[in-house]
Amino acid sequence: MQADTDESLLKRISAGDQRALRLLMDRHMARAIRLAERVLRDSAAADDVAQEAFVRVWKHASRFDEDRAQFTTWLYRIVMNLALDRARRPGHAPLDDALDVADSAPDGEETLVRRERVRLLGSGLAALPERQRAALTLFHLEGLTGREGAAAMNVSEKSFESLLGRGRAALKAWVSASTKGRTP
């Protein structure tokens, strides 16, 4: 039996079928949470954004036009809008301490240096303007193309490229400056 496509589930959702929504969430909720957390660096806020994103899907399923975009592109855009809105709220501060990931490898000098670089990069990511962090996330971590990333952020490809370039340059500078600052 052929599984329902996302787009056919959306048609059922627009007719009020909650079971179809449940199926769609089973497929994509993890992706929505992770994308939001990559942008927000805050797991509680990410959970909230992902849930709100699927409430929007439920409410506006009839507006989705499968001739214009895939469901995942639409979902990316909804999550990204909500996450960027949340990131701009006063009081929101990305967390960078969640990046101290336990490593079972022996603590050789090389491992320690690498871990420190990763920790610095995590701090640098948290310090980036949210739109640059979002662009880097979409391109490098979600694996979207420039065109797909631009569509998800609702900006032109040129603007997306600019965000990517500035974000990467800022990260590189951050790691370099931090390393020099710590090295005698």
Closer CB to other proteins, 72 or 146, in the complex: 146
Binding of other proteins by 47 (CB under 8 A): yes
Per CB under 8 A, does 99 bind other proteins? Answer: yes
Residue 128 within binding range of other proteins, rule CB under 8 A: no
Please report, as a single letter, which amino acid is at residue 73.
Answer: T
* Phi/psi of residue 164, nearest 5 degrees: -60, -50
Q: Are 67 and 7 in contact (CB under 8 A)?
A: no
Neighbouring CB atoms inside 10 A of 107's CB total 9
Give the closest residue to 43 by CA, choosing from 94, 3, 80: 94
Separation CA 153–CA 160 (nearest Å): 8
Answer for which of 118, 155, 159, 178 binds other proteins (CB under 8 A) is 118
Considering CB under 8 A, how many residues would be counted as binding other proteins?
A: 46
- 177 is a contact residue toward other proteins (CB under 8 A): no
Q: Single out the residue of 29, 69, 72, 77 in contact with other proteins (rule: CB under 8 A).
A: 29
Are residues 163 and 131 in contact, defined by beta-carbon separation less than 8 angstroms?
A: yes
Q: Check binding of 138 to other proteins (CB under 8 A).
A: no
Least spacing, CB of residue 108 vs other proteins, in Å: 16
The contacts of residue 170 (CB under 8 Å, 6+ apart) are 124, 128, 132
Selected range binding other proteins among 25-33, 65-73, 81-89, 105-113, rule: CB under 8 A? 25-33
What the block records as the tokens of 109 is: 């000098």
Using an 8 Å Cβ cutoff, are 151 and 69 in contact? yes
Which residues bind to other proteins, rule: CB under 8 A? 16, 18, 21-22, 25-26, 29-30, 33-34, 37-38, 41, 43, 47, 50-52, 54-55, 58-59, 98-99, 101, 114, 117-119, 121-122, 125, 136, 139-141, 145-146, 161, 164-165, 168-169, 171-172, 175
